[in-house]
Chain A
Amino acid sequence: DTGVSQDPRHKITKRGQNVTFRCDPISEHNRLYWYRQTLGQGPEFLTYFQNEAQLEKSRLLSDRFSAERPKGSFSTLEIQRTEQGDSAMYLCASRAASVRSYNEQFFGPGTRLTVL
């Protein structure tokens, strides 16, 4: 257990439905990342938060995707009008801020989304 939790762990939905995932980072970590991993591939970056500010979004994040981190604590990732191509593992990671050195990222267990 890395200290980062994600909910739900598995989600099965029908095409066209909306889904929302939650990530609870390690409490003192102010930096939070979302990644997506499709079968047999390495994860790909989706978006980054520093405290409550969303500072970077990948081009992979279409307008059907939205992420928030109210109050700089937990984060949510919502996918509207899901498509079969959205089926993937959605991973959240957090890390502490550091002025002098780069810190490792701690990953949650992921949410596996299946769109039927």
Chain B
Amino acid sequence: KNEVEQSPQNLTAQEGEFITINCSYSVGISALHWLQQHPGGGIVSLFMLSSGKKKHGRLIATINIQEKHSSLHITASHPRDSAVYICAGGKGTTDKLIFGTGTRLQVFP
């Protein structure tokens, strides 16, 4: 079992739809990150969570530490939200990131 698992692998949506991406992680993972990767490779950090909920614009991230589960929500999705969204957990004394396989999101107008 992978230490960080996310679902779904692929997601398509119509513009304006509410989107949810889920992530579960194993014991030993500390802070939980949500990252965005556009074609061409660049990765941008969206959120870092150790508890509760964070919001930035139309993006909301939540984490349930007891259940070891996190979700990323996108409200009023837009075609420019199309990207790969990656969940990653910090681990160990170096806080290296253990990544999920990513969710490819396509939002159509």
Q: Which residues of A contact B (CB under 8 A)?
A: 2, 31, 33, 35, 37, 40-45, 48, 50, 55-56, 89, 91, 93, 95, 102-107, 109-110, 112
Contact = CB atoms under 8 A, between A and B. Distances in A.
A109 B90 contact: no
B26 interface: no
A102 B42 contact: no
B45 A107 contact: yes
Interface of B: 4, 30-31, 33, 35, 40-45, 48, 50, 86, 88, 90, 92, 94-102
A43 B31 contact: no
Nearest to A50: B94
B99 A42 contact: yes
Given A2-B44, A93-B97, 13 more contacts: A40-B101, A41-B102, A42-B86, A42-B88, A43-B86, A43-B99, A44-B99, A103-B48, A105-B45, A107-B45, A109-B40, A110-B42, A112-B41
A109 B86 contact: no
B94 A102 contact: no
Contacts of B94: 31, 33, 48, 50, 55-56
A91 B43 contact: yes
A110 B35 CA distance: 15
A102 B95 contact: yes
Given A102-B31, A106-B45, A107-B45, A43 B97 contact: yes
B97 A102 contact: no
Contacts of A109: 40-42
Contact of B102 (A42, A48, A56, A93): A42
